[in-house]
Structure formats: structure tokens, C-alpha cells
Amino acid sequence: MENLDPKKVLADLTKNANKYCGAVNPICLDDYVAFGGYEASSKVVNNEVDVISILKDANLVARKKLNELCADRWSGAETVVCETEDPMATLDLKVQTEAPHVIVEAMIIFMHVNNAKKGVIVVNDELAYNRLNKAVTDAKNAGLNDKDIIVSKVSIDGLKENAQLLANVVAIVQNSYKPAPAKGLKGVAIGGKVKNPGVYEIEDGTTYRKLIEEIAGGATGKVKAIKVGAPYGEYLSSDILDEKINFMSLMMNGMVRGTALIVVLDESTDMAKEISDYLGFLLNVSCGKCFPCKVGTKRMDEMVKEVVKGNATKENYNMIKSIAVNMNIGTLCPIGQKGAVPVLTALENFRDDFIKE
């Protein structure tokens, strides 16, 4: 059999850092190195490349400050942190568990650029935690990392970026990959009523229809709703199918890309039942500190359960809407503010599922 060059095989697969996911053994350092791992960090640490210029050229936008380029933001921080706050950030978890060395390599670059003394990878998944710890230890023992990097289940103050962004930094330094929203490929996770749910890289500007019908193998029934940026994303009607998925169009429609998670619902879905399930999730994450979120979520949950039982009156609908609006504008943190958005958009776009008179 022909001897394959692993780096070429990988280059043919995809250009961004997700290329390692599923292609290398996540707990094998030698595997990662054979596929070009730690070449980028070595170049950076040895000052063979100007990372800030490369990041500027790539237009890499900071995830937590969407109007700010990483190249402008990364200018010195004693502690740098790789942290994903959203438990539904499937893309982050994927790279953390399937390619933990990418995160370690990214942290080396992140620390070097900022001249940071400490690097912390915050993760709340047990498998990812164990694999990242092993990757940190293996890289240190092999002499590939001399930085102070720890893996923690507890958050810490510092300059923060998420795992996907940092993973892309490795790819950018390796091969001048240019991520979305500037141009190029973007990772999205699609689930729900599609034949092939999963994580895909799509061209910037791909339509929802193409993503669902061609890339994810098609919906299992006629599409009724698409939830974009779950869990706090909007429930949109199928009217959006021919719109392009890109950063600017999402922003212009007042939407958030959030976790880049897209959930497809087919016509068998009762949106009141869907919102009832969502409110069950929200009840679990609300800390109860402020009234409109604490009481509002509970009241909406009770009222939407009534709708599911058949008590779908206009009065009920108006009351749920009024509580959601109050929650959207009157709560202390994004859980309450954004938490109301799925309810409001479901009421707006699927009114017939909430009023049956």
C-alpha cells in the first residue's frame, strides 16, 4: 500500500483546527506530533513568526468581544484563560475531548503572545478534563511545553477566549487559514430532525436549506422551525431556509450565533411542548437572584404546561408574552435576558400552537 503522508492527508480533509478531531488518537502525543502538532507553537515560541500580524491578517474576531480583533485584544495579560461558559458549546467540547493537544498548543501560543505567567483551561466535562490534564502532562514531559498551564473545573479571572477560537489560532499560524466571520469556513453543529446530525464546517454564506438538505442529509420531515444559537437562540420559521448563514446576516436579523448550534424541528413538533421542555432547562439554570427570572420562569412554565394540556387561550398567550418581555428587559444577567428570547420568538412565529380557540 502507498505510504501516506499524514500531514497531507489532514491538509486534504480540512483547513481549520477541527481537522484533528477524529483523525488523531486524542490521548496519544506521538499521533498529534506526526500530524504536525506543536509545529505552530514551536515557531511562535522561537519567534520565527509574527503572530500578531498573522492574526491581524486573518481578521480573527475575539469571541467575547465581537467587535474586537484578537490582534488588538491580545496585548499582555498575566493570566490567560481558555473557558467556555455555555454548557451547550458542542464545538468547544468536541475539540477539548477529541483533540486536547490542540488546546494545549493554543494555550502555549496564547500565553506567549500575552507574555502571561499562567494559563488556565477551564472545563466542566469529566472526559475533557481528564484528557486535557493528560495532554498538558505529556507535552511537558516531552519538552514541548515549558509554560505553567493548569486544567481547572473552576473559573478564574484573566483574559478569556473559548476553545474553538484558540484551536483556530493554531490552524491560522500553521497554514494561514482564515476563519469566519471574515471569510472561509465556519464550524457549526446541527441536530434535531435531520438524518445526519453532527459538526460540520460550512462555507461562510451557506444557506440553511443547503446545510439541512445537502450537508446534514435532509430533514426527517417537512421543516417547521429552526432554532439558531441554542439554547438561548431564536425559534425561526421555515421562511428562513434560503437565508445565508453568516455572521453579518445573523447580526442584522438581531440574532446571536451563540454556540453555532442549529436545531431543526419538523412538522410533528408542538411548539408549546418544545417551550415547556426549554423552560424546564431554564428553571434549572436560573439562580433565583432576581424576581423577574425566578418567578417569571416558574409562572411561564406553569402557563405553558396549561397550553400543552389544551388550555390554549389568548389570555394565557398574552400573559406568557408579558412575563417574557419583563424578563427580557428586567433581569440582572444574560440568562434571564436571553433566556426569554426562545419563548418570545416561539410565541411570535408559532402563534397557532399557543392559541387554539
Q: Which residues bind ligand SF4 (CB under 6 A)?
A: 286-290, 293-294, 331-333, 335-336
> Residue 247 or residue 291: which is nearer to ligand SF4 going by CB?
291
Rounded to a whole number of angstroms, the minimum distance from the CB of residue 285 to ligand SF4 is 7
Closest separation in Å from C-beta 336 to ligand SF4: 3
Is 128:99 a contact under the CB 8 Å cutoff? no
| Residue 127 or 295 having the CB closest to ligand SF4 | 295
> Which residues partner with 236 through β-bridges?
226
Tell me the C-alpha to C-alpha distance, in Å, between residue 156 and each of 302, 335, 338. Answer: 37, 20, 24
Residue 327 phi, psi (nearest 5)? -70, -40
Least distance in Å: CB of 292 to ligand SF4? 7
d(CA 265, CA 288): 30
Residue 168 to residue 158: CA distance in whole angstroms: 20
Closer residue to ligand SF4 (CB): 206 or 331: 331
H or E segment to which residue 79 belongs: strand 79-83
Q: How many residues does the chain have?
A: 357
Helix (H, G, I), strand (E, B) or coil at 285: helix
Nearer to ligand SF4, 13 or 333 (CB): 333
Q: CB of 89: closest distance to ligand SF4 in angstroms? A: 18
Cβ atoms within 10 A of the Cβ of 310, count?
Answer: 9
Instruction: Specify the residue, 289 or 356, whose C-beta has the smaller distance to ligand SF4.
Output: 289
Q: How far is the CB of 281 from ligand SF4 (least distance, A)?
A: 12
In the complex, what is the shortest distance from the CB of residue 274 to ligand SF4, in angstroms, rounded to a whole number? 21
Nearer to ligand SF4, 236 or 293 (CB): 293
Q: How far is the CB of 116 from ligand SF4 (least distance, A)?
A: 30
The region, left, alpha or beta by phi > 0 then psi within -120 to 50, assigned to residue 115 is: left
CB-nearer residue toward ligand SF4: 153 or 289: 289
Q: CB of 78 within 8 A of CB of 42? A: no
**Contact between residue 106 and residue 166 where contact means Cβ atoms under 8 Å apart:** yes
Q: Least distance from C-beta 301 to ligand SF4, angstroms?
A: 14
Distance in Å, CB of 349 to ligand SF4, minimum? 24
Strands of the 261-266 sheet, one edge to the other: 198-203, 185-192, 261-266, 223-228, 234-237
Of 23 and 344, which CB lies nearer to ligand SF4 in the complex structure? Answer: 344
Q: How far is the CB of 93 from ligand SF4 (least distance, A)?
A: 22
Q: How far apart are the first and last CA of the chain?
A: 69
Q: Which is nearer to ligand SF4, 221 or 288 (CB)?
A: 288
Query: How far lies 48's CA from each of 60, 103, 152, 175, in Å?
Result: 20, 21, 31, 14
Reference 279, options 301, 312, 310; nearest CA is 301
73 class by beta-carbon count within 10 Å (0-12 exposed, 13-18 middle, 19+ buried): middle
Indicate the residue among 238 and 331 with the shorter CB distance to ligand SF4.
331
